[in-house]
Amino acid sequence: MSTPLRLGIAGLGTVGTGVVKIVRQKANLLAERAGRPVTITAVSARTRDKDRGINISSYAWEDDPVALAKRDDVDVFVELVGGSDGPAKAATEAALAAGKDVVTANKAMLAHHGQALALAAEDAGRVIRFEAAVAGGIPVIKALTEGLAGNEISRVMGVMNGTCNYILTRMQSAGLPYEDVFEEANQLGYLEADPTLDVGGIDAGHKLSLLSSIAFGCEVDFASVELEGIERITIEDINHAADMGFRIKLLGVAQLTGRGLEQRMSPCLVPANSPLGQLEGGTNMVVLEGDQVEQVVLRGPGAGEGPTASAVMGDVMDITRGFRIKTFGRPAAALTKAKPAKAATPAPYYLRMALDDKPGALAKVATVLGTAGVSIDRMRQYMHDDSTAPILIVTHKTTRDALDKALSDMSALDVIATDPVALRIESV
């Protein structure tokens, strides 16, 4: 029998436990598909005696993931600890230095340190694989680096955070306000320990920056991703969008233009009858546009034990078979430093605000928009109380710069009762 590929797994949470189950339960299938067995020799986690529903007594134990990464009986270090720095980064660096390949689900670490780690891997003649870091069980990294390798990618777009998609679709289906659904999601265990990673768009922004690097051949630049979360989305926004035939999604968009690399993660309106508009619950979707294939839509579970462990094992199987590829699809030294750029493609925008109920208030807003070069397509005024009047405006196509100028000038008006909410209406 061929020599087994030996795994050392750091982190035995939901995903790590799922990986152990797959290696155990599908040992024969894995060996048949890879041409050699896949085994686990050692593991590491914060707590040794925790009940995980699996027996880990047959594996060597290391309290320190760095020690695990250096073990002679580990061929592939599987990093499932998480966190952009600390033990995850230290152990990954140690594994590469010790001549181990690395499989990780850690989008934060790669978003902040991907270039340096990719260079270290290539210097050591090793690989870093990270399918599980983006969109759960969807093989989007494989699609970009392999299936679409003959394409010039023009745009990457998608819903990449299942928690946000759950919150937004649950608000619509149940007619519940954001605060209620946020608490519901928290009780169900959908939110990160720091919820702003989810609802603030940070988690999804990490993923978008990784896809941008592969798609456009540039160094990972998470710092330049324009981030806006879903915290300001109200049930009124959800209902207004539905009335116009749209749904609100936390949408990531990346494209390389003559002005530079645009990367934005923000709530947008998308057509309700589009694939993105029909996306429900915690499901993810990534849309890839290339010059040869035009558009490819990938849809699947964005998180959870099975889907994410499946992605980890896909990477492990490639290494087992001897298939090796550069971290971001091409040599790290060849990746360029892209110039950050704001979205310049004109689009219509949805604006929601409340005005003081005074004569001429709406005229002042319309004047500010017109002066900035933003024209109004349609406008609605909803039921108001004794002092304020809720206003909904949909603009004709305009640039974000022009809209930002109008919003800035509006802040100086004496009739604005609440800060305006501005959402791009995205063409998908």
Of 295, 427, 279, nearest in space to 287 by CA: 295
What are the angstrom distances between the C-alpha of 264 and each of 156, 305, 370? 11, 28, 26
CA–chain centroid gap for 314, Å, is: 19
Mapped onto helix, strand or coil, the DSSP state of residue 17 is helix
Mapped onto helix, strand or coil, the DSSP state of residue 137 is coil
Q: Please tell me which residue in 100, 142, 207, 326 is annotated as part of the active site.
A: 207
Residue 299, φ and ψ in degrees, nearest 5: -130, 140
User: How far is 215 from 218, CA to CA, in rounded Å?
Assistant: 8
| 229: its two tokens | 């979360």
Of 101, 45, 110, nearest in space to 76 by CA: 101
Residue with tokens 């759960």: 136
Q: How, if at all, do strands 128-129 and 101-104 pair?
A: parallel
Residue with tokens 């048949």: 32
Are 104 and 132 in contact by the 8 Å Cβ rule? The answer is yes
Are 142 and 286 in contact by the 8 Å Cβ rule? The answer is no
Q: Which residues contact 108 (CB under 8 A, 6 or more apart)?
A: 82, 83, 84, 203, 206
Are 398 and 361 in contact by the 8 Å Cβ rule? The answer is no
User: How far is 80 from 58, CA to CA, in rounded Å?
Assistant: 20
Of 79, 128, 127, 336, nearest in space to 213 by CA: 336
Burial class for 300, CB neighbours closer than 10 Å (0-12, 13-18, 19+):
middle
Active site residue 26: no
Instruction: Tell me the Cα Rg of the chain.
Output: 24
Q: Which residues are catalytic?
A: 207
